[in-house]
């Protein structure tokens, strides 16, 4: 049983498209993180959410605590957005990772 | 550039070798983490250090031995590894260990066991 489910697993988009990646979870959380991992391996923390919505540049993250669901949106996608996007949960002292969404943006 | 520095970036070693991975941060963070990540899989937590003390060991085999000599440094000593231990090893840190703390990740060490 996965505490965190992401969809889609793989996503290909044309440059400029609006992209949505979804994360559903089944446990109570204190915070949800969206992470970005480029092919080289390093992971960058994009957002940490416990409620509502956050925006940073072309990225928007939302969370609905009641529905146990979060979304990551990318507006005006660009090839440099190509990466794996990972949803991760904080529950007390546990940290659960989703399996990731591999995004490819084609010029 | 990341604020968490891992060395080496790549490591190839035989099953009888002893080597160490190093992780360093100068953000004043008091929690540091080791993760193992296999290809196309999410990271798996191995160890958590909080205030230089081992707080979590996720049933990791004893051929992996962590060490936290001070609040800025985290090492992972490797001995008698198996081919299945080939993976990307990620280090991360956060201000303290617990909820609502973003983790800062290094770029990882890509380890290959021959």
Tokens standing for B48? 């958590």
**B residues 66-95 closer than 8 Å to A (CB):** 88, 90, 92
Residue B94 binned pLDDT confidence (cut-offs 50, 70, 90): very high
> What pLDDT, on the 0 to 100 scale, is given for residue A18?
98
Compute CA distances B41 → A35, A85, A97, B2, B84, whole Å: 14, 12, 10, 22, 14
The whole-angstrom distance between B80's CA and the closest CA on chain A is: 25
What count of residues does chain B have? 114
Whether A43 has its CB under 8 Å from any CB of chain B: the answer is yes
Return the residue matching tokens 């915070």.
Answer: A31
**pLDDT tens profile A40-90:** 778 999 999 999 999 999 999 999 999 999 999 999 999 999 999 999 998
Whether B43 has its CB under 8 Å from any CB of chain A: the answer is yes
Nearest to B43 among A44, A50, A97 (CB): A97
Question: What is the Cβ-side half-sphere exposure of residue A77, based on CA atoms within 13 angstroms?
Answer: 22
Whether B108 has its CB under 8 Å from any CB of chain A: the answer is yes
Question: What is the Cβ-side half-sphere exposure of residue A47, based on CA atoms within 13 angstroms?
Answer: 25
Write out the DSSP string of A23-77: EEE-S--SEEEEEEE-TT--EEEEEEESSEEEEETTEEEEEETTTTEEEEEESS-
The whole-angstrom distance between B8's CA and the closest CA on chain A is: 13
> What pLDDT, on the 0 to 100 scale, is given for residue A3?
86
- Taking CA–CA distances from A37, the nearest residue in chain B reads B107
Q: Answer whether B2 sits within 8 Å of A30, measured CB to CB.
A: no
**pLDDT tens profile B32-66:** 999 999 998 999 999 999 999 999 888 899 999 99
Whether B105 has its CB under 8 Å from any CB of chain A: the answer is yes
* Other C-beta atoms lying within 10 Å of the C-beta of residue A31: 19
Q: Does A93 have pLDDT greater than 90?
A: no
* Other C-beta atoms lying within 10 Å of the C-beta of residue B53: 8
> What pLDDT, on the 0 to 100 scale, is given for residue A90?
86
Mutate to test the interface with A, among B42, B100, B107 (most CBs of A within 10 A): B42
């Amino acid at each position: 049983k996965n505490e965190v489910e992401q969809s889609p697993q793989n996503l290909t988009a044309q440059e400029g498209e609006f992209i949505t990646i979804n994360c559903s979870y089944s446990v109570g959380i204190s915070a949800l993180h969206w992470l970005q991992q480029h092919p080289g391996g390093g992971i960058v923390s994009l957002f940490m959410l416990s409620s509502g919505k956050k925006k940073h540049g072309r990225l928007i993250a939302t969370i609905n605590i009641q529905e146990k669901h979060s979304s990551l949106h990318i507006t005006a996608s660009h090839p440099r957005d190509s990466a794996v996007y990972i949803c991760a949960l904080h529950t007390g002292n546990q940290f659960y990772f989703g399996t990731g969404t591999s995004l490819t943006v084609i010029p | 550039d990341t604020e968490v520095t891992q060395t080496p970036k790549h490591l190839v070693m035989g099953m009888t070798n002893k080597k160490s991975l190093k992780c360093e941060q100068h953000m004043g963070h008091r929690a540091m983490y080791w993760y193992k990540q296999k290809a196309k899989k999410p990271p798996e937590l191995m160890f958590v250090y909080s205030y230089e003390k081992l707080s979590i060991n996720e049933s990791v085999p004893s051929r992996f031995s962590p060490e936290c000599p001070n609040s800025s440094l985290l090492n992972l000593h490797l001995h008698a590894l198996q081919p299945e231990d080939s993976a990307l090893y990620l280090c991360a840190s956060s201000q303290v260990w617990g909820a609502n703390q973003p983790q800062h990740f290094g770029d990882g060490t890509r380890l290959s066991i021959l």
